[in-house]
Chain A
């Protein structure tokens, strides 16, 4: 479809996702909910990277049995792949640290885990 949008809907969706994740991170106290906020922010950044390289009426940037048309930009897609893998690695580390904190203190509250004990 080659019709243009009146204003940039994907970039407004990215702004909404990152704003929601900032609200979650700044006001929640449970550690699992903090991890969920960080995961939503990673999803918003990945959506921003992919929607930066879209050409209206474009096709997949692969030459095998390619139809006619201009190709979508390939570099933002490569950067998004790297970003998704790094997000998975960070989420795994955060969740395993939460499991260890729960075993040590018995509670998943961020205010109660601040004092270092022996």
Chain B
């Protein structure tokens, strides 16, 4: 791509990544969460691939790194779901305890980040899974349509 596109991408891509991580981490007090923030982050990765070409991206970012990230996110999600098995599967066992355990006052209030129980940690797990999965899809299809074979 031309020099104007590459210069603007150098300025905009860190801002897109920070915005995606902000949407993931504040999922329990503002609109958003794991799926939305992961999709915004994957659109930043798609911007890198379009601006700098898929051959030069593939030298640094192999697709098995993204696969490891996606599997780690899935394991965090399932592990937290098994954590409340004393009562039932998917029980919120951290609401009221020491980690992320404040209860907000009922009605309209300014949001507190230390609330939510097990929900912020599940947001992080699902966010890692979605950003790993969608980035892997975009990278593999960009490589396949420009004729380069994916390594084993």
Contacts and interface: CB of A to CB of B under 8 A. Distances in A.
A92 interface: yes
B40 to A, nearest CB: 14
A60 B104 contact: no
B29 A64 contact: yes
B110 A64 contact: yes
A64 B110 CA distance: 5
Interface in B109-137: 109-111, 130, 134, 137
Contacts of B29: 62, 64
A99 B111 contact: no
Contacts of A36: none
Query: Which size class do A's interface residues fall under?
Result: 10 to 19
Given A81-B35, A99-B145, A64 B137 contact: no
Given A99-B144, A99-B145, A63 B109 contact: yes
Given A81-B35, A99-B144, A62 B30 contact: yes
Interface residues of B, number: 16
A96 interface: yes
Nearest to A66: B108
A65 interface: yes
Contacts of B144: 96, 99
B141 interface: yes
Given A64-B29, A99-B144, A85 B35 contact: yes
Contacts of B134: 88
Interface string B16-53: 00000000000001110001000000000000000000
Contacts of A81: 35
Contacts of B111: 64-65
B90 to A, nearest CB: 14
A67 B107 CA distance: 10
A98 B29 CA distance: 42
A65 B108 contact: yes
A56 B141 CA distance: 44
A93 B137 CA distance: 9
A65 B137 CA distance: 38
A95 interface: yes
Contacts of A96: 141, 144
B31 A95 contact: no
Given A62-B31, A64-B30, A99-B145, A92 B108 contact: no
Interface of B: 29-31, 35, 104, 107-111, 130, 134, 137, 141, 144-145
Interface of A: 60, 62-67, 81, 85, 88, 92, 95-96, 99
